[in-house]
Amino acid sequence: MTRIYISQRPPHLLDLDAGIATAKAEIEAAAAQGADLVVFPETWLGGYPAWVFGLAGWNDPEA
């Protein structure tokens, strides 16, 4: 039987390095508990690409 570990840790918004470190810790904890698969919520690992901040409307309610 496949053992699935579902992470419910809060994300580190816009901090990719912290998100990767947390994901690594979660994966290691899951493996120690015998998990075969680790699942994170969609878009949990943020780190928006740099170009997104140049888009019209980003953080500008009048755009």
More confident residue, 53 or 36: 36
Mean of pLDDT over the chain:
85
- pLDDT at position 28 over 90: yes
Three state DSSP letters for the chain: CCCEEECCCCCCCCCHHHHHHHHHHHHHHHHHCCCCEEECCCCCCCCCCHHHHHCCCCCCCCC
- pLDDT at position 50 over 70: no
| pLDDT tens-digit series, residues 1-23 | 999 999 999 988 878 899 999 99
Sequence letter at residue 5: Y
